[in-house]
Structure 1
Amino acid sequence: MSVEEPNSYEEQHVHSVYEEIAPHFSSTRYKPWPIIESYLQNLLSGSIGLDIGCGNGKYLAVNKEIFIIGSDSIAVIHHLSTPARRIEAVASILECLKSTGTALLYVWALEQESSRRGWSEGDDQDVMVPWVMRKKGEGERTFQRYYHLYRKGELEADVISAGGEVVESGYEKDNWWVIANRGSPS
């Protein structure tokens, strides 16, 4: 796959889709997820954070004692179409950290047997996920979004491949998450 192929693929199946669905998507995102809210509430007063993929910014005001810069990057890790691009993204995030800083990374999980999606181990990890948008007077439109579904342990492996260290990790609401730091210098 050439360098242009992942860029074109992600432009068509991630960037363009989110440009079309952004207002509708945003209206469905208003309640902070517990792990993320807890992570932000436990940061030291005066901490500076970067929310990469902030969407409508629902986490920016969770902790008034910290300063968060939001970047509405729709190509968050699980929207990147190759392993190398995902590891490069993790490495770029880790490079933004101070030596004592941590990053909370969230990705969609493959293991979603009990969810409405029903994916499970052994299913394809690279999938198209429909977003159905209904507008008055326009009817229904369905957009297909690309996702890489992470299997158990894969996000931790990406952090390590990117030169980071896993501080903590877990599973919440059909997502794998990792708290990572920059790791020890070699």
Structure 2
Amino acid sequence: MDKDYAKQIADDLQIKYNLIAGNFSSSREKPWQEMVFLFDNINEGDRVLDLGCGNGRFSEIILPRASYVGLDNSERLIALAKNRYPDAEFVVADALDIPFPDNSFDKVYSIALLHHIASEEMRQQVLSEIKRVLKPNGLAIITVWDLWSKPKRKRSIIWQSFLSFLGLSKLDLCDVMIEWQGVKDFYFHCFSPYSFKKLIQESGFDIVKYGRIESRRGANLYIVAKKS
């Protein structure tokens, strides 16, 4: 994907998340129960980064056991997070340039963020930043949507990828623009289990655990990876 177009998609997503912040937050009042097991990796006294934290809902699980920093590039979502969780630390920043020193965190969580990052190059940059701020042997816990599991979405993925293959779209293969939260042209990259694991491994992580989470809202893929 062209770098300028990838940057345009990123800028548009920031605007769109600010636009839908209220409704988005209302649809995510509490951590979803099927995801809670991912936080069993946290040890007492850990320092944890929640990358793409949204309204900060996962701080409810993390704060009793560890110190917490939530980071998101949506000013409105961070404002909501600060209002909801005044005892937590929140930062407006970009996952492509995490404003913390090397080896700062024991765990980094990236829940439903990576599929919004346009272009393979930028996804690798996000993972490089995650690896940089993790302490040696620190863990990255990463989830993405499994859009291939939804028949309606699958048709859209195949069609838009066909247009990309023919050179009739500026998107990459397995990229889609769909209507979401009432807003048109929301960007998603559609990971397969293979492409997800390949990206994590090529970014220099050792995969500790991989799996799929089923829910009534749809499936998610997850990876627990160690900084090698």
TM-score, normalised to structure 1's length?
0.82
Contact kept, 8 Å, 2:10 with 2:117, in 1: the verdict is: yes
The residue that corresponds to 1:126 in the other structure is 175
CA–CA separation in structure 2 for the residues paired with 1:149 and 1:2: 18
Residues 89-122 of structure 1, C-alpha deviation per residue, up to 9 Å, x if partnerless?
11211221111210111111232137xx4527x7
1:9-20 alignment, distance < 5 Å: 9-12=9-12, 14-20=13-19
Contact kept, 8 Å, 1:91 with 1:159, in 2: the verdict is: no
User: Does residue 119 of structure 2 align to residue 78 of structure 1?
Assistant: no
The residue that corresponds to 2:31 in the other structure is 32
Q: Offset of 1:127 from its aligned partner?
A: 1.0
1:139-178 alignment, distance < 5 Å: 142-173=183-214, 174-178=219-223
Residues 114-136 of structure 1, C-alpha deviation per residue, up to 9 Å, x if partnerless?
7xx4527x734211221344xxx
The residue that corresponds to 1:88 in the other structure is 125
Change (3 A) 1:162 1:132: closer
Q: Which is helix-richer, 1 or 2?
A: 2
Change (3 A) 1:159 1:132: closer
CA–CA separation in structure 1 for the residues paired with 2:179 and 2:201: 32
Residues 33-81 of structure 1, C-alpha deviation per residue, up to 9 Å, x if partnerless?
3464222244110011100011000101213011110002467311111
Contact kept, 8 Å, 2:50 with 2:69, in 1: the verdict is: yes
Match of 2:59, SS state, is coil
Change (3 A) 1:47 1:151: same
Match of 1:29, SS state, is coil
Contact kept, 8 Å, 1:91 with 1:164, in 2: the verdict is: no
CA–CA separation in structure 2 for the residues paired with 1:49 and 1:100: 14
Q: Offset of 1:10 from its aligned partner?
A: 2.2
CA–CA separation in structure 2 for the residues paired with 1:16 and 1:44: 36
Match of 1:143, SS state, is strand
Taking only the aligned residue pairs, the percentage that are identical comes to: 26
The alignment's C-alpha RMSD in Å is 2.3
Change (3 A) 1:105 1:7: same
The residue that corresponds to 2:86 in the other structure is none
Query: How many pairs align?
Result: 172
- Unaligned ranges ≥5, structure 2: 75-94, 96-112, 162-173
Look up the equivalent residue of 2:46 and give its one-letter code.
S
- Unaligned ranges ≥5, structure 1: 134-141
